[in-house]
Structure 1
């Protein structure tokens, strides 16, 4: 069974940060990554995200399964970009260096490859931080942090349930898929791709109904406990902001400002090495 994508306290510096700090880090980091197409800045952010991932002490095996799925969608995205806009890089960088003519209007150019490399870099910059946010944040502590900054405790609690629900979904998927394979539904590489996609549908349908049952159980339990009748609530896993949290937030804001300045310094979001 694959490892579950869930919170596990490894005692690292990243784990000791407040949930609010990690949320702000994730949001600002993602926003900066999405705005810029400066390859130099994206490479720097990618290296920093790898360093942070290393400091967190999270094992690669914990994210291997999810990372493979993300890489598949990344490849699909890059192929779709080339199919629907094979000259996008040429338009952006205002130059053309053709490598090979494929067929019809499709030509493989250095500019298109460079543009799609930047798109891939965006994925690789955001993915480690996004996964760290899930793996290093206690859902209950994170919910209390959201409530402290003014978010309704009902919404905060919904976020906590969502974070706790991710490993349950993974576990249910593995159990259902193994049950279907025991019934003779093959999802291995021995069958064709179309056959595997069709067989995966046989897993998703029971998984959907299992999720609906779980949602009904959770909602009934919350209603029996009187959830939502009071305007405020106390939190068992509340965590105060420390100096390290304020230092990280300050450093992040400075980095975001520098990223915006570098991105728009030349009048464009795109770094053009072909000029």
Structure 2
């Protein structure tokens, strides 16, 4: 059985007050507008929008705690690694102004680890963290705020074909369904005496010992997909246009939200072509060091 994210109708939810199609359009416009800039001054408004959406979504902390901590933690870790290595910013800046250099007191095969703290590295890491966090926060809220029963009709209403709309519906349900199957398999193996907590050895040995978990989950996912394909074939899916039980209708507030999203994207693209929003480092740092 396919399952969905922990959706529920929430009172005073900003996202749920709009047509899901309008919200998806606004999200896509905001996404591409955010990717237009590297200047942290231009990225901060998008971060403010993301935080506003988060705090007005009505989603409780305990509902999205794991997903939020994982994604935001990954973003911050990636930004920190970029700061340490200096890689990733070669296409953004060509010159670095050294603030401080840390040299290790030991050598590895004749190589001495050196950490160069430059103004460009610092602000590139900050810009990257703000940029990715703005996108991640907006993305996290969507699965918990859109009605799973409207996934297919939402994408169909955006002009996509029936096949693509249903494929997007199944894709959004895959992660929670896979997580449910994984948890059920672990509980079943524990009931049979399989002790996951005592798995030891190297990385390859640990992966081999997790076979009783991964193999059943993978086989079940394949069998479930085959069942879905057979059910769709029996209903002649793809032969002709499909009809949908639910009907979505745009309201005035939905048109306003779409217009705001298109305006944000248009202004961002124009500013980008005019040379605004490129990577920026405060000049005061150059004078201090």
The alignment's TM-score, normalised by the length of structure 1, stands at 0.82
CA distance in structure 1 between the partners assigned to 2:162 and 2:39 by the alignment: 39
Structure 1 residues 23 and 267: alpha-carbon distance in aligned structure 2, compared to 1, 3 A threshold: closer
What are the equivalent positions in structure 2 for 1:18-57 lying under 5 Å apart?
18-57=19-58
Which residue of structure 2 aligns with residue 126 of structure 1?
A: 135
Structure 1 residues 192 and 83: alpha-carbon distance in aligned structure 2, compared to 1, 3 A threshold: farther
CA distance in structure 1 between the partners assigned to 2:166 and 2:216 by the alignment: 27
Shift of 1:9: 2.1
What secondary structure does 1:166 align onto?
helix
Shift of 1:49: 0.9
Which residue of structure 2 aligns with residue 16 of structure 1?
A: 17
Q: Which moved more, 1:98-107 or 1:164-173?
A: 98-107
Which residue of structure 1 aligns with residue 197 of structure 2?
A: 186
Q: Which moved more, 1:202-211 or 1:212-221?
A: 202-211
CA distance in structure 2 between the partners assigned to 1:9 and 1:94 by the alignment: 51
Greater Rg, structure 1 or structure 2? 2
Alpha carbons 1:32, 1:259 under 8 Å: kept: yes
Q: Which moved more, 1:69-78 or 1:166-175?
A: 69-78
Q: How many pairs were matched up?
A: 269
Displaced runs of 4+ in structure 1, greater than 6 A?
none
CA distance in structure 2 between the partners assigned to 1:90 and 1:127 by the alignment: 23
Alpha carbons 2:150, 2:246 under 8 Å: kept: yes
Q: Which moved more, 1:64-73 or 1:122-131?
A: 64-73
Which residue of structure 1 aligns with residue 106 of structure 2?
A: none
Shift of 1:267: 5.1
Alpha carbons 1:93, 1:111 under 8 Å: kept: no
Which residue of structure 1 aligns with residue 180 of structure 2?
A: 171
> Gaps spanning 5+ residues in structure 2: where?
104-111
CA offsets per residue over residues 113-133 of structure 1, 9 Å max, x none? Answer: 221121111221011211222
The alignment's TM-score, normalised by the length of structure 2, stands at 0.79
CA distance in structure 2 between the partners assigned to 1:29 and 1:93 by the alignment: 28
Shift of 1:106: 3.6
What secondary structure does 2:279 align onto?
coil
Which residue of structure 2 aligns with residue 100 of structure 1?
A: 101
Counterpart pick for 1:250 among 239, 245, 259: 259
Shift of 1:60: 1.8
Q: Which moved more, 1:213-222 or 1:89-98?
A: 89-98
CA offsets per residue over residues 151-183 of structure 1, 9 Å max, x none? Answer: 111211121122233321221222233444551
CA distance in structure 2 between the partners assigned to 1:32 and 1:147 by the alignment: 24
